[in-house]
Structure 1
């Protein structure tokens, strides 16, 4: 018998972000910020992958009724993330560095099992994710 899923979308999102953080740390990323806010909105995770600054959008779902989680990252969300990155860089980065936008898509099967897909350089890899 499967374990029940979190009751709210907010709880599911928190669980997804935590899974994404653990995954990135295991992959050797240095986590710089979590839920960083500025005038343009919020970045779920800001990390460093060697010398590259990475802005990570985490999308979590418990089923595919509304599509795959990554399908929620549209042109509007991409434009917002670019503004967030500009704000972060102008505030914190003292020197030029490579910049990348990733999406981590998580689909929970139950509370202990999930399918995680890391879309590296997601904004540049396809027109529509």
Structure 2
């Protein structure tokens, strides 16, 4: 990954994390990694645990950022979420998988995206 793409991704994650915090969520983990991959953001609000995939684009020229979260990526993120829960011995009452789409300074969160 080029430095420019890495910077764009980090920028999007910062904006998405701020959006969640402004909406009452607490950021628990960012860029959590294990053998199988990475989770961009892990957040909580009360007993709700949210795993968020952040997709950042400079424009919509190549389609919606959410379109990049394919069924295969969704399956991998579900598996990663279960790995995170096991690693942190957490038992939330509700788990949700979101996609945060960032274009420029605009953040759109799709709650329960999959």
Q: TM-score, normalised by structure 2?
A: 0.92
Find the counterpart in structure 2 of residue 78 from structure 1.
74
Number of residue-to-residue matches in the alignment: 112
The answer (yes or no) to whether the contact 2:9–2:56 under 8 Å persists in 1 is: yes
Q: How does 1:1-129 map to 2 (within 5 A)?
A: 8-108=4-104, 114-123=105-114
Residue 94 (structure 1) shift = 4.0
Q: Secondary structure at the match of 1:122?
A: coil
Structure of greater Rg = 1
Contact 2:85 / 2:91 at 8 angstroms: preserved in 1? no
Output the CA distance in 2 between the equivalents of 1:73 and 1:48: 22
Please report the RMSD computed on the Cα atoms of aligned residues, expressed in angstroms: 1.3
Q: CA deviation at 1:49?
A: 2.2
CA distance in 2, matches of 1:48, 1:20: 14
* Long gaps (5+) in structure 2: none
Unmatched runs of 5 consecutive residues or more in structure 1: 1-6, 109-113, 124-129
Which ranges of 4 or more aligned residues in structure 1 deviate by more than 4 Å?
none
TM-score (norm. length: structure 1): 0.82
